[in-house]
């Protein structure tokens, strides 16, 4: 009976560990999003995380008769990437991200974690000086 109970407890622990890894740490997908950086802020009560929004070109319908902009909400773990985004708010970015199945408090509030910046450019090209 003790041997059966020991094996059962080990199976439950290993199964729980595998489930936790799959749910919280296994990368579900990777991709690139492009758009204008709206904001990036560091916030949180216990775990301070970087949370941001990227406004993508185009519109999508939010419901019958409504139009809203495409917004990509993301979290950033690397402080170097976060600082580069913060000082360049309002510019056009191409961001590489990883998607997880669920969030953990120390990683951020979204399942999308930006890990690198692929490109950055000014949002609007300069039109030159105004001449009437």
Say which CATH number the domain at 37 has. 2.40.50.140
10 domain-assigned:
no
Percent of the chain with pLDDT over 70: 83
- Which residues contact residue 22 at a Cβ distance below 8 angstroms, ignoring those fewer than 6 apart? 101
CA 122/CA 69 separation, integer angstroms: 20
29-69 residue pLDDT tens: 999 999 999 999 999 999 999 999 999 876 655 565 555 56
In a domain, 72, yes or no: yes
For the purposes of burial, counting CB atoms within 10 Å of the CB of 83, is it exposed (0-12), middle (13-18) or buried (19 or more)?
middle
In a domain, 2, yes or no: no
In angstroms, the CA 19 to CA 120 distance is 38
Q: pTM here?
A: 0.77
Q: Which domain holds residue 81?
A: 28-60+68-121
Q: Is residue 49 part of a domain?
A: yes
> Is residue 92 in some structural domain?
yes
For residues 112 and 72, the answer to whether their CB atoms sit within 8 Å is yes
Query: How far is the C-alpha of 20 from the C-alpha of 15, rounded, in Å?
Result: 9
Q: How far apart are CA 130 and CA 41, in angstroms?
A: 35
Question: What is the count of structural domains for the chain?
Answer: 1
The predicted pLDDT at position 90 comes to 84
Query: Distance between CA 72 and CA 25 in Å, rounded?
Result: 21
Q: Is residue 4 part of a domain?
A: no
């Amino acid at each position: 009976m003790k041997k059966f109970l020991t094996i059962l407890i080990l199976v439950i622990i290993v199964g729980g560990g595998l489930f936790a890894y799959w749910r919280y740490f296994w990368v579900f997908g990777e991709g690139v999003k492009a758009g204008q950086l709206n904001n990036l802020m560091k916030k949180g009560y216990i775990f301070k995380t970087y949370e941001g929004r990227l406004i993508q070109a185009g519109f999508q319908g939010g419901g019958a008769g409504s139009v809203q902009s495409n917004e990509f909400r993301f979290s950033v773990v690397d402080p170097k990437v976060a600082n580069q985004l913060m000082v360049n708010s309002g510019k056009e970015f191409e961001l590489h991200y990883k998607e997880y199945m669920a969030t953990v408090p120390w990683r951020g509030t979204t399942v999308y974690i930006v890990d690198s910046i692929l490109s950055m450019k000014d949002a609007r090209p300069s039109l030159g000086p105004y001449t009437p």
